Structure 1
Amino acid sequence: MPYYSDEIVEEVRTRTDIVDVISQYVNLQKKGSQYFGLCPFHNEKTGSFSVSPQKQMYYCFGCGAGGNVFSFLMNYENMTFKEAIEELAPKCGVTLPQREMTYQERQRADRRSRLFEINKEAAGYYYKMLRSKEGEQAMAYFTKRELTADTLHKFGLGCTSKYSDSLYKYLRGKGYEDEILKDCGLITIDEKRGGHDKFWNRAMFPIFDANGKVVAFGGRVMGDGEPKYLNSPETEIFNKSKTLFGLYFARKTRRQQFILCEGYMDVISLHQAGFDNAVASLGTALTEGHAGMLKRYVKDVYLSYDSDGAGQKAALRAIPILKNAGISCRVINMSPYKDPDEFIKALGAEEYEKRIQNAENSFMYQVRMLEKNYDLTDPEKKSDFQKEVARMIVTEFPTQLERENYTESVAARFNIPREALGKYIIELGQSGITAKNQNQNRDSERRSTPKPKDDGMKMSQRLLLTWLVEDTSIYGKIQEYVTPDDFEEGVYKQVATEVFKYLSDGSTVDTARIVDLFMEDEDRRVVAALFNTTVGELTDNMDLSKALKETLLRIKKHSLELAQKNGADLKSLVEGKKKLQRLERLEFSL
């Protein structure tokens, strides 16, 4: 729920221009009274993302994302409602009141603050340990990896003691109790052994969040122990799937893209060599959460994964995740070396820069990796490979122009007959195979679920609400026949109630404010759709007056059928049928 009064929320929203805010993230172009651009919430080639300055709302006709300026920041920047208000308030000149936190809120805030403090204390402890006699082995390791003193300092590198309870004793000495230490990700508390460290005899890599706070650690064992690398477990302040190593530094780069690596040392070596845009996922496969974080800062990502089989598989998994997030992707070829760290040491920064300039188009990389699975000396296997390439082109690229370009490039590079490949692609298209929807996961889920029978009725109700907002004069002509009670229970009825209330008062409908009545993201999407139904969807080649009357009749008949089915009293049914009969005789003029 909101932390501020409705009056404060309303003041921030009305003083904020949604077009100004969204244009900081999306390249918008004005068309008529609205602005359009490429949707930031799914990958698309043609702009179906609209922003209405009149309604102070956005809506994507492709994926259905929609809402007001608060919704946008909540979805794009992963903010809470409170954080979105606090982000916008100072920019529009609103001073937010200081609110006394509840006991539970204060407890949670204090707890998170203490967890950050513990991680900061641990980072300082490890940092000093590396520069003591006990840190000689770890320092020798970092020196062997050719890291400079400046790099060690920049990344806050350190090490643990060889003893398994040294950090625990240190933190206890600082006044931290077992109750909080057991949840910080660095200490294990059990009845037999008491408190002991999760990291010991390891070189330590602090993990910073995007704001520069230490949220976790990675540790490399000194010697032959297992596991070789160990990360902090997830805690209240550390989410692996949304944290990228090196992001705090990379977000300040002047380069237009990020380099995505697999390991700590790859990132650190690249930064030391001048590539201050390198980041890495934390020993885990790239997730949608990681891609969402990347999308906040860049539109282009260059993969610099290991060149071995495991690295190639990781790249093939990462490419579609990045594409679905709307990120353009290329792959850096580091052969004959395994990873960026080895490459930099062997050939230097200039050669790596050349590899960046010659990075491979991600689709061409996918085809090259696919080729390895086929024996091209066998005509049957060769044909199978070429057919699969054609299928990839059809399903990956929705436009004829893209298909033509990739057909030409793939045919030339992989020695496939250009004309034959083109013809087979046309055959696949004619057989019904089409490009994947950019918002594939969500849309495939929708396709697998049968559409409810009342979809047409929902469309009619959406259409009427959009119509009422865009042409308020309609309200006076319909108020006698249709009321909010005629709308579907739930979001539809709540929205209709608000719209009718505004119109009965003779006020302009504040659609953006209505959005704020709903806290669930899916409800906000529904509300946005209610106010962005295209009249042309139901009224192509039809007289608008006739279309409005038919829409009203559908809604009223459906409402009466439901009322009768649910056992409504006879008086209300009779009254409803009289209204329907009058509506049937009525002639609208718009």
Structure 2
Amino acid sequence: MPWYSEEQIEEVRSRSDIVSVIGRYVRLKRTGSGYTGLCPFHNEKTPSFYVNPARQMYKCFGCGVGGNVLTFVMEYENLTFPEAMEMLAEQAGIDLPKQEMTAQQKQQEGIRLTLLEINKKAARYYFALLKSPRGKVGYDYLTGRGLTDETILHFGLGFAGQGGGELYQYLKKEGYSDQILKETGLFKMDERGVYDKFWNRVMFPIMDVNNRVIGFGGRVMGDAKPKYLNSPETKIFDKSRNLFGLNYAKRGKRNNMILCEGYMDVIALHQAGFTNAVASLGTAFTEQQANLIRRYTDEVLLTYDSDGAGVKAAMRAIPMLRRAGITGKVIHMEPYKDPDEFIKNLGADEFEKRIEEAQNSFFFEIEVTKRNYSMSDPDQKTKFIHEIARKLLVFEDKIQRNNYLEAVAARYNIKTEDLQQLVVRYGNQMPSGYEEVMEERQQERLRKGRKKELREGISYSYRLLLSWLIEEPQLFRQISQWIKPEDFEEGLYRTVAKELYEQMEKEELEPARIIGHFTEVEEQNKVASMFQTSFGSEIQAEEKKKAITDLILKIKEHSLERQAGEVTDLNELQKLVQQKKMLQGAVKLHIS
């Protein structure tokens, strides 16, 4: 895996304007000195996603994600840090010579490659066991479900034996330590011993888009619970960011994808010639999976089970697809429950017809909503029409909204002008601008969250001080007299403080560059939050002066207390105590 120097990272970041890049994915609206839009990382109806062009940073005040342009591309496109670097460098016309990794980076990459290697061997072991006499129960189950040997081989299906420790013994003989085997998620380790996580199950290897085995799903033989069991998340497996069958579906000749609920549905469809089928990995469909699909197609056909749970899952997935810019359609499979049953009973040709007849996902939503109302009751019908009007507001494009409005009015025998008036009425009730929405949300968060923020104590004080330094760099000279980077606790806060102080000493304030020093998304979000903390716009000048004084006192006192707890020399301890006594009056005197 390539690695890049700080100079290369900074060149790519500085030459990739964050507004232009994010604007390709999110519809942004200019509001004051920044831009706002609906957050692409969580479900929301009013914008809480803010892009700051001056700082080259973004922040969602709803779900808390934040970072710079590299962070955004990694999150949205489901890319590693090097992949995001390469993508942005190519767009900016930058040549990126590859650098050597550090010893720590090589170690982490070595662990990742070893886990992939172990998973590959485990998949081969399961496959061999399936084809052996001891795997007959699993093989009979798969062939009984209509799968051919060719399909079993194509998907690498296997069987986990009934012994409970067979895979562990095999991998130990291959020379792997317990420490690395624990990282795979394939085993349970406790004081009683080590046991295979999967046993007496038909095994479904889960592959990433590059055909590497990153995890497993297992279907139990018999009535034991749980019926399906999946690998836990590991250094190589994140179930919310992968899809079963995508490694094959992305190469399909069709211009859309079929989204299923289960592994067997995907396999049955592929065997029948529908090689564009994928499924989520034992969890509900996620925003990240919608964004992943968007890399390969802009149309998805939903084939969720026709029972209540399936309808509910479809209703949850449709808005996610819409937000990702994907057109959704729903395939109706009645009288059968799922694609697997449908294909077995009616065949591929009939399923092709159902694809051609697939229902527009918005009309599907309306039909499901209609089930909650009695159309013979005037009051119920009125409520239903009002619900339609509210739902039409999901279409921001006026032409698209009017097209749907006319179609819905015709289908449900509603006067177009009446429905139009309702839509306008409900539209006018929506907040008109970002400032109003954000101010309302900020005030609500302040009311509900201030106690929580106070409980965070010193961490909140660190974040607030760092944010204020960025907002008002002129405070740096006064604050730096009292608070040094060493006054922050060791770890992320001290690292960030050092970087920020260095920038301010050179009068080269670029907080987005500091975020770029971290390659882990979780760390980038934490750093971004350090630069986006405030008391809100209601704070006045005198209050601000007092707040800054209190912050300095709190951070410095905490630092002195921490140092006092660490020193063993009595003279040094007395000096620290004396500093603390003098601190309060001195700070109040000098802060203006």
Shared fold, TM over 0.5: yes
- Distance in 1 (CA, whole Å) between partners of 2:173 and 2:500 is 61
Q: Secondary structure at the match of 1:245?
A: coil
Q: Secondary structure at the match of 1:364?
A: helix
- Could you tell me which runs of 5 or more consecutive residues in structure 1 were left unpaired when the two chains were aligned: 30-35, 453-461, 467-478, 530-553, 577-590
The 3 A distance-change label for structure 1 pair 374 and 435 is farther
Aligned to 1:101: 103
- Distance in 2 (CA, whole Å) between partners of 1:256 and 1:225 is 40
Aligned to 1:131: 131
- Map 1:340-359 to 2 at 5 A: 340-359=339-358
Shift of 1:251: 2.5
1:497-543: CA deviation from partner (whole Å, max 9, x where unpaired): 8888778xxx9x989757646863475599899xxxxxxxxxxxxxx
Shift of 1:196: 3.0
- Map 1:52-71 to 2 at 5 A: 69-71=69-71
- Distance in 2 (CA, whole Å) between partners of 1:50 and 1:225 is 49
Do the aligned partners of 2:27 and 2:38 also contact (CA within 8 Å) in 1? no
Do the aligned partners of 2:67 and 2:524 also contact (CA within 8 Å) in 1? no
Do the aligned partners of 2:26 and 2:38 also contact (CA within 8 Å) in 1? no
Aligned to 1:220: 219
Match for 2:413 among 407, 415, 420? 415
Aligned to 1:327: 326
Amino acid at match of 2:185: G
1:30-86: CA deviation from partner (whole Å, max 9, x where unpaired): xxxxxx9999947999xx99999x999687999999876534433333445566446
Shift of 1:217: 1.4
Aligned to 2:173: 173
Do the aligned partners of 2:203 and 2:219 also contact (CA within 8 Å) in 1? yes
Shift of 1:267: 0.8
Shift of 1:319: 1.9
- Distance in 2 (CA, whole Å) between partners of 1:310 and 1:67 is 36
The 3 A distance-change label for structure 1 pair 186 and 13 is closer
Do the aligned partners of 2:135 and 2:159 also contact (CA within 8 Å) in 1? yes
- Map 1:80-159 to 2 at 5 A: 81=81, 84-85=84-85, 92-102=94-104, 108-159=108-159
Aligned to 2:336: 337
Amino acid at match of 2:419: L
Q: Do residues 9 (structure 1) and 39 (structure 2) align? A: no
Identity %: 43
- Size of the aligned set, in residue pairs, is 515
The 3 A distance-change label for structure 1 pair 285 and 515 is closer
Aligned to 1:207: 206
Do the aligned partners of 2:244 and 2:278 also contact (CA within 8 Å) in 1? yes
Shift of 1:176: 3.0
Aligned to 2:567: none
- Distance in 1 (CA, whole Å) between partners of 2:407 and 2:479 is 54
Q: Secondary structure at the match of 1:249?
A: helix
Amino acid at match of 2:422: Y
Shift of 1:27: 11
Q: Do residues 520 (structure 1) and 519 (structure 2) align? A: no
Shift of 1:130: 1.8
Tell me which moved more, 245-254 or 346-355. Answer: 346-355
Q: Secondary structure at the match of 1:449?
A: helix
- Distance in 2 (CA, whole Å) between partners of 1:24 and 1:422 is 30
Shift of 1:216: 1.8
Tell me which moved more, 303-312 or 272-281. Answer: 272-281
1:152-187: CA deviation from partner (whole Å, max 9, x where unpaired): 222111112233332233223323344443443222
Aligned to 1:197: 196
- Distance in 1 (CA, whole Å) between partners of 2:433 and 2:148 is 47
1:552-580: CA deviation from partner (whole Å, max 9, x where unpaired): xx99999888789997889978xx8xxxx
Shift of 1:386: 2.3
Aligned to 1:586: none
Tell me which moved more, 63-72 or 285-294. Answer: 63-72
Query: Given the two structures, how large is their TM-score scaled by the length of structure 1?
Result: 0.68
Amino acid at match of 2:445: T
Q: Do residues 387 (structure 1) and 386 (structure 2) align? A: yes
Q: Do residues 361 (structure 1) and 357 (structure 2) align? A: no
Do the aligned partners of 2:159 and 2:203 also contact (CA within 8 Å) in 1? yes
The 3 A distance-change label for structure 1 pair 521 and 148 is same
Shift of 1:413: 1.9
Shift of 1:369: 0.6
The 3 A distance-change label for structure 1 pair 27 and 447 is closer
Do the aligned partners of 2:66 and 2:524 also contact (CA within 8 Å) in 1? no
- Distance in 2 (CA, whole Å) between partners of 1:366 and 1:434 is 25
Aligned to 1:299: 298
Do the aligned partners of 1:487 and 1:559 also contact (CA within 8 Å) in 2? no
Match for 2:403 among 397, 402, 405? 405
Do the aligned partners of 1:398 and 1:434 also contact (CA within 8 Å) in 2? no
The 3 A distance-change label for structure 1 pair 510 and 60 is closer
Do the aligned partners of 2:86 and 2:96 also contact (CA within 8 Å) in 1? no
1:401-454: CA deviation from partner (whole Å, max 9, x where unpaired): 444333322222233344433333344345x256999xx9x99965742599xx
Do the aligned partners of 2:39 and 2:60 also contact (CA within 8 Å) in 1? no
Aligned to 1:584: none
Do the aligned partners of 1:390 and 1:425 also contact (CA within 8 Å) in 2? yes
Q: Secondary structure at the match of 2:279?
A: strand
The 3 A distance-change label for structure 1 pair 406 and 189 is same
- Distance in 1 (CA, whole Å) between partners of 2:427 and 2:89 is 51
Amino acid at match of 1:174: E
- Distance in 2 (CA, whole Å) between partners of 1:118 and 1:158 is 15
Amino acid at match of 1:331: V
Query: Given the two structures, how large is their TM-score scaled by the length of structure 2?
Result: 0.68
Q: Secondary structure at the match of 2:103?
A: coil
- Could you tell me which runs of 5 or more consecutive residues in structure 2 were left unpaired when the two chains were aligned: 29-34, 450-466, 534-538, 554-584
- Distance in 2 (CA, whole Å) between partners of 1:94 and 1:497 is 29
The 3 A distance-change label for structure 1 pair 37 and 190 is closer
Q: Secondary structure at the match of 1:236?
A: coil
- Distance in 2 (CA, whole Å) between partners of 1:571 and 1:189 is 60
- Distance in 2 (CA, whole Å) between partners of 1:106 and 1:422 is 61
Q: Secondary structure at the match of 1:316?
A: helix
Q: Secondary structure at the match of 2:259?
A: strand
Do the aligned partners of 2:269 and 2:277 also contact (CA within 8 Å) in 1? yes
The 3 A distance-change label for structure 1 pair 380 and 24 is closer
Shift of 1:207: 1.0
Q: Secondary structure at the match of 1:237?
A: coil
Q: Secondary structure at the match of 1:212?
A: coil
- Distance in 1 (CA, whole Å) between partners of 2:479 and 2:255 is 49
1:125-164: CA deviation from partner (whole Å, max 9, x where unpaired): 1111222222333223222333233322221111122333
Do the aligned partners of 2:60 and 2:66 also contact (CA within 8 Å) in 1? no
Q: Secondary structure at the match of 2:126?
A: helix
Aligned to 2:445: 449
Do the aligned partners of 1:27 and 1:37 also contact (CA within 8 Å) in 2? no
Q: Do residues 185 (structure 1) and 185 (structure 2) align? A: yes
Q: Secondary structure at the match of 2:368?
A: helix
Shift of 1:290: 2.6
Q: Secondary structure at the match of 1:167?
A: helix
- Distance in 2 (CA, whole Å) between partners of 1:262 and 1:152 is 19
- Distance in 2 (CA, whole Å) between partners of 1:444 and 1:261 is 40
Amino acid at match of 1:116: L
Tell me which moved more, 490-499 or 282-291. Answer: 490-499
Amino acid at match of 1:186: L
Shift of 1:308: 1.6
Do the aligned partners of 1:26 and 1:37 also contact (CA within 8 Å) in 2? no
Q: Secondary structure at the match of 1:215?
A: strand
Amino acid at match of 2:7: E
- Distance in 1 (CA, whole Å) between partners of 2:194 and 2:549 is 68
Q: Secondary structure at the match of 1:195?
A: strand
Amino acid at match of 1:95: P
Q: What RMSD over aligned residues (CA atoms) do the two structures have, in Å? A: 5.3
- Distance in 1 (CA, whole Å) between partners of 2:412 and 2:139 is 48
Shift of 1:314: 1.1
Amino acid at match of 2:156: G
- Distance in 2 (CA, whole Å) between partners of 1:5 and 1:174 is 37
The 3 A distance-change label for structure 1 pair 358 and 98 is same
- Distance in 1 (CA, whole Å) between partners of 2:22 and 2:49 is 12
